[in-house]
């Protein structure tokens, strides 16, 4: 029953991701930008056919989307198995895994439905008379990154298994 709490994290990420992508898709034209914080943050509407941060977006091969879907399904399976095999009392680990799970499902749903992922958060700096942008991302991507960060914190707080030296 305690796992329901963690499952609600994944469901929340999936819902927030879907709602935010729907709002962007229905209210912002593709490639349009709405400045929120000058010289730092704007909302955009980008359709990403590639992997994280647009890697592989310009690939001509049909193999790229297939491999992205297979990879996302693989991550989903690994995370589910690891979450079920890990102690429910390990809050940091479980929270991280369920953030990753929710983010992976959110982006996978887009890939299956539309063949692309809607990205809309654009962080950038103006420097030297030019704008330098981080690739656009979305709520699912954010959840995955935060989840990975929590997994790193979780690994740091646990002692290394016997016979393996910890690197400091």
Q: What is the pLDDT of residues 125-158, one digit of tens each?
A: 988 889 899 999 999 999 999 999 999 999 888 7
pLDDT in tens, 33-51: 999 999 999 999 999 987 6
> Among 17, 110, 122, 141, which one carries the catalytic annotation?
141
164: confidence class by pLDDT, cuts 50, 70, 90: low
Residue written as token pair 């709602």: 19
* Predicted confidence (pLDDT) at residue 6 exceeds the cutoff of 80: yes
Residue 159 has pLDDT above 90, yes or no: no
67: its two tokens: 């491999």
In the prediction, which pLDDT does 53 show? Answer: 60
| CA-angle at 140, arms to 119 and 33, nearest 5° | 20
User: The tokens of 10 are what?
Assistant: 């994944």
Tell me what the pLDDT averaged over the chain comes to.
Answer: 88
Q: Which pLDDT value is given to residue 50?
A: 73
pLDDT > 90 in the chain, percent: 61
Q: Write down the pLDDT at residue 95.
A: 96
Task: Tell me the C-alpha distance between 2 and 38, whole Å.
Answer: 44
Task: Identify whether 119 is a catalytic site residue.
Answer: yes
**Catalytic option among 17, 119, 122, 154:** 119
Top pLDDT among 29 and 112 is at 29
Kindly tell me if the per-residue pLDDT of 57 is higher than 70. Answer: no
Report the pLDDT value the prediction gives residue 44, as an integer from 0 to 100: 97
Residue pair 44/120 in contact by the 8 Å Cβ criterion? yes
């Amino acid at each position: 029953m305690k796992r329901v709490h963690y499952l609600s994290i994944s469901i929340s990420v999936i819902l927030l991701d879907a709602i935010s992508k729907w709002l962007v898709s229905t209210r912002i034209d593709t490639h349009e930008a709405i400045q929120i914080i000058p010289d730092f943050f704007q909302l955009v509407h980008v359709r990403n056919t590639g992997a994280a941060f647009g890697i592989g977006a310009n690939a001509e091969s049909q193999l790229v989307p297939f491999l992205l879907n297979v990879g996302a399904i693989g991550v989903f399976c690994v995370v589910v198995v690891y979450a079920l095999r890990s102690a429910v009392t390990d809050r940091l680990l479980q929270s991280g895994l369920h953030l990753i799970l929710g983010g992976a499902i959110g982006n996978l749903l887009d890939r299956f439905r539309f063949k692309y992922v809607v990205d809309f958060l654009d962080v950038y700096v103006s420097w030297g008379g030019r704008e330098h942008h981080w690739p656009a991302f979305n709520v699912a991507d954010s959840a995955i990154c935060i989840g990975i960060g929590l997994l790193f914190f979780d690994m740091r707080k646990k002692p290394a298994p016997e016979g393996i030296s910890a690197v400091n």
